[in-house]
Structure 1
Amino acid sequence: MLQQTRNTECFQVDRLQSAAFDYFLRYSDPGTGLVADTSLPDAPSSIAATGFGLSCYPIGVERGWIGRGEAAGRVLTTLRFLAQSWQGRDALATGYRGFYYHFLHMKTGERVWQSELSTIDTALLIAGVLTAAAYFTGEDATETEIRTLSETLYARVDWRWALARGETLTMGWRPPGRFLKYRWQGYSEALLLYVLALGAPHHAIGPEHYRAFTAAYDWTTVDDVPHLRAAPLFIHLFPQAWIDLRALRDAPMRDKTTDYFDNTGRAIALQRQYAERNPGGFSGYGSDMWGLSACHGPTGQQRLVNGRRQRMLGHAARGAPGGPDDGTLVPWAPIACLPFVADASRSALVALESRYPDLLCEGRLPGGFNPSLPGAGPEGWVDDRVVGLDQGLVVMMIENARNGFVWELTRGIPAFRRGLQRADFRGGWLATMETA
């Protein structure tokens, strides 16, 4: 019976991963290669979702969901478009100084929604560019051009410019010439951004800027162990979709005798404990029903199924403990935690599918749902969109849990190694490669 349950769980995981990968086939433009932000009609491209897609195509090849030639062709289409698209200060450009606007028109690549030139989303894009190039190592014309274009795209990003004469990287810039006032300082998904900015072949930033980023870390203690706080799960997960941080320690982690991978495990345990306590009295919460992260959600004052009125947060970076919470759960988050807490992730998957049978949309997990609100079924409010970032994270983290595939690819990318070393990371696979 136990083996049958395990086999069923594996089938569920495989099915969710395959459906998540299919998002990038269905919701990408054949002419530009850009990937849609969400599944909503006429949604623009998100450059971050495009970066996730580039990282997922190699997984699709390995899993037999797409042929190598077709996958390489998709990657090349994307890289050619990015390399040839307009880089300038005007409001309709695709990017500027090697960075890209957060949201682009799917077919033209022009900036939409007056979005910012985004440093973090560009980093997610470049991570995908480098990952694809690390996989497509063939000598044919297509795979050779992929590697050439990846070098060009990475080399032209002016990371030093994005410091805007400050100690830390800015979050972005708007035309015709105004940096956003907020900067990346303190623990966040920008860990990936700093690694790429430190490891760049041109326009790299110095180690002192990484030290300024980590100087704002917010520590607490959990079960007598130091814990680096971040309430939303995506903060922990995004960098580790690409970087294997097991036993890797920078100066703050060495000082606290922990590492980012173990810290993520504690963050998940805190969320599960919070869901079990359920201080907000929301429906569905429990040790096997958890997952608070950034997502779209219902808005305004609404009446819950128990009759209580609750202010809904709309789009918010939900988190626990200490983050905002309105009863909206992020169903993909527990699945993306498979590399850290395999049993808890599988239990959450079983609970999701048994309690909320109508949650899936085209076989994919939606951006969020709120069972505390009235709805057509026990799912309550369900987001009407599937989100590209979420699907990419599901594909990559399931594969990392299965065999460490993406981590193995990025360990072989000089930029990642160089960036980690300049950030003074030590131990783990870095030590193994140094002694090999």
Structure 2
Amino acid sequence: MKKYILLVVIFLTGSFWSCQKPGETSTAGSTKKLSDDELLTLVQKQTFNYFWDGAEPNSGLARERYHVDGDYPQNDKHIITSGGGGFGVMAILVGMERKFISREQGRARLQKIISFLEKADRFHGAWPHWWNGETGKVKPFSKKDDGGDLVETSFMAQGLLCVRQYFKDGNAEEKQLAARADQLWKDIDFNWYRKDNENVLYWHWSPNYGWDMNFAVRGYNECLIMYVLAASSPTHGVPAEVYHQGWAENGKIVSPSEGFGYKLQLKHQGTQKNGGPLFWAHYSYLGLDPRGLKDKYADYWEENKNQSLINYTWCAQNPKKYTGYGPNNWGLTASYSVKGYSAHGPDEERDLGVISPTAALSSMPYTPEQSIRAMKYWYNNLNDKVWGPYGFYDAFSQTDNWYPQKYLAIDQGPIVVMMENHRSGLLWNLFMSAPEIQTGLKKLGFQSPHLK
């Protein structure tokens, strides 16, 4: 899907900038032995700092990337991201709950972010993939991708709904913040992105190129949240047929397969087998609770758990005999790669010997024992090769002796959020408590323990 386009974009435009390192960091492999719970908190806290100390100062939103090692000369330190920024908004709520920051600090930062979002470029209510954080003007992701990006916008809206639910019963300032977050969500014109009322949603629209990118979004991939939000919108909602005919392709989304004895029910777009990169089990489920979530196409908890277990088993068995792979060192997803960027996955073609910590850490709700083992191994054994000012670096390869000191917002955010969902269910409970989400899920024929 669109994340694959980053293979070219990041490789050509990747950058480094100097910025103040976070106020509190920890050196991996220190003499003090941490309990599992202490290490979970430390990883969350240090990763959270990407969205706190590492944020772009004018907007308060997450920078697209941060390169500690400074291997790119081009300076784009002000480029921020709507999708990764939405994940960061949710990470700020985690920071407040975990007392990494105070409630008032979190409210003030979120107020800055919402003020930016209210004024920044939007296209029929949808934000672009990238902006200049100093001006709020769109930074084209590619030539024709210079307008609304409905998928990245949906990742942001997922976070804004959590903000609204978190603050709606607070003091006067908090209630006002909740109301502003609510208005931003209600301004998104999902119906426009049907392109002349087709029963499918389109990823992009440009004021300069119209629908030229022509990217109708069909499942299964990371975009389920967009269809749930579109059906749930109280202002610009779409009929259920858009989900069933567009996303589910009149049932063609169902295509059972099996890997290592673990069954998958859905057709994972662009993959031949084994479920593909793990971000598909993460991005839509930062707020959308997969526990007990079912419709006529799949049981989403089983789908995500089995995809994670296939990914783990592939690395544990290590059929390509890469250095370091094993039951304590696993996780394949879209991330930086030895040659640019790649959507790593558990098959012969897409496994390039690159481990992406976000893959295992963000899968913690599905594979808690396997994910915690990997976290402990990286922290205690690989130490500062893989650990830096904002937590574990984006990716590494022991086979190639490749340990880049790089971060991507869209990979760091799910770590904080999904680890918290594993520990407390915080973001799942907030998002699923939104009444319009409950209405939308019912409209689409979903079952969930959250539905009243």
TM norm structure 2: 0.82
Matched with 1:199 is 232
C-alpha displacement of 1:224: 7.7
For 1:27, the equivalent position in structure 2 comes to: 54
Measured against aligned partners, the alpha-carbon deviations of 1:276-327 in whole angstroms (never above 9, x if no partner) come to: 332222211122221110112122xxxxxxxxxxxxxx21211124761211
Choose the corresponding residue for 2:363, options 337, 340, 345: 337
Amino acid at match of 1:58: L
2:265 maps to which of 227, 231, 237: 227
Relative to structure 1, the CA distance from residue 139 to residue 9 in structure 2 (aligned partners, 3 Å threshold; closer, same or farther) is closer
Q: Judge which range, 400-409 or 269-278, deviates more.
A: 269-278
Unmatched tracts of structure 1, length 5 or more: 86-93, 254-258, 300-313, 374-379
User: Which deviates more, 112-121 or 325-334?
Assistant: 112-121
Matches within 5 A, 1:375-414: 380-414=401-435
Where does residue 244 of structure 2 map in the other structure?
211
Aligned mates of 1:427, 1:129 — CA distance in 2: 21
Distance across 1 between alignment mates of 2:159 and 2:390: 24
CA distance, structure 1, for counterparts of residue 50 and residue 410 of structure 2: 10
State the 1:178 CA deviation.
2.3
Q: Is 1:263 the counterpart of 2:303 in the alignment?
A: yes
Q: CA RMSD in A?
A: 2.0
Given that residues 232 and 323 in structure 1 are in contact (C-alpha distance below 8 angstroms), is that contact kept between their aligned partners in structure 2?
no
Secondary structure of the 1:386 match is: strand
> Aligned equivalents of 1:322 and 1:120: distance in 2?
29
Instruction: Provide the rounded CA distance (Å) in 2 between the counterparts of 1:427 and 1:133.
Output: 21
2:42 is the alignment partner of 1:15: yes
Equivalent of 1:352 in 361, 378, 395: 378
Over residues 164-213 of structure 1, what are the superposed CA-to-partner deviations in whole Å (9 max), with x where a residue is unaligned? 13322112123313222222102111111111111001111111111121
Deviation of the 1:360 alpha carbon: 0.7
Which residue is equivalent to 2:104? 69
Corresponding letter in the other structure for 2:129: H
Structure 2 residue 222 is the aligned partner of structure 1 residue 189: yes
What secondary structure does 2:353 align onto? coil
2-side partners of 1:203 and 1:397: how far apart?
Answer: 29
Mapped pair 1:129 → 2:160: yes
SS of structure 1 residue aligned to 2:355: coil
- Aligned partners of 1:323, 1:206: CA distance in 2, in Å? 39
Report what 1:178 is aligned to.
210
One-letter amino acid matched to 2:222: E
Identity %: 25
- Cα gap change, 1:323/1:189 in structure 2, threshold over 3 Å: closer, same or farther? farther
Matched, 1:236 2:281: yes
- When structure 1 is superposed on structure 2, of 217-226 and 283-292 the one drifting more is 217-226
User: Who is 2:176 aligned against?
Assistant: 145
- The 1:270–1:101 alpha-carbon spacing in structure 2 relative to 1, beyond 3 Å, is same
Long gaps (5+) in structure 2: 1-31, 68-74, 269-274
Residue number in structure 2 paired with 1:428: 449
* Cα distance in 2, alignment partners of residues 419 and 6 from structure 1: 47
Kept after mapping to 2: 8 A contact 1:57/1:132: no
| 2:76 counterpart residue number | 42
Map Cα deviations across residues 319-374 of structure 1 (whole Å, 9 max, x no partner): 1247612111101221111111111111111222244122112151111111111x
For residues 159 and 322 of structure 1, the distance between their equivalents in structure 2, rounded to whole angstroms, comes to: 38
Deviation track 1:96-130 (CA, whole Å, cap 9, x = no partner) reads 11111101112111111455221110000111111
Paired letter, 1:59: V
CA distance in 2, matches of 1:134, 1:170: 28
Which of 188, 194, 197 in structure 2 is aligned with 1:157?
188
2:119 to 84, 94, 97: 84
Alignment partner, residue 26 of structure 2: none
Query: Are the counterparts in 2 of residues 364 and 386 from structure 1 also a CA contact under 8 Å?
Result: no
- Counterparts in 2 of 1:150 and 1:297: CA distance versus 1, 3 Å: same
Q: Which residue number corresponds to residue 111 of structure 1?
A: 138
Q: Is the 8 A contact 2:49 2:390 kept in 1?
A: no
Structure 2: distance between partners of 1:167 and 1:383: 43
Kept after mapping to 2: 8 A contact 1:361/1:386? no
- Match for 1:288 among 299, 311, 328? 328
Which fold has the larger relative contact order, with Cα–Cα distance below 8 Å and residues 6 or more apart in sequence? 2
Q: How many pairs were matched up?
A: 394
Q: Deviations over 1:2-60 (max 9, x none)?
A: xxx99622222111100011111112234322221112463310111211121122211
Task: In structure 2, give the amino acid aligned to 1:241.
Answer: L
Cα separation, partners in 2 of 1:407 and 1:322, compared to 1, 3 Å? farther
From the superposition, tell whether residues 323 and 155 of structure 1 become closer, same or farther in structure 2 (CA, over 3 Å): farther
The residue identity in structure 2 corresponding to 1:407 is W
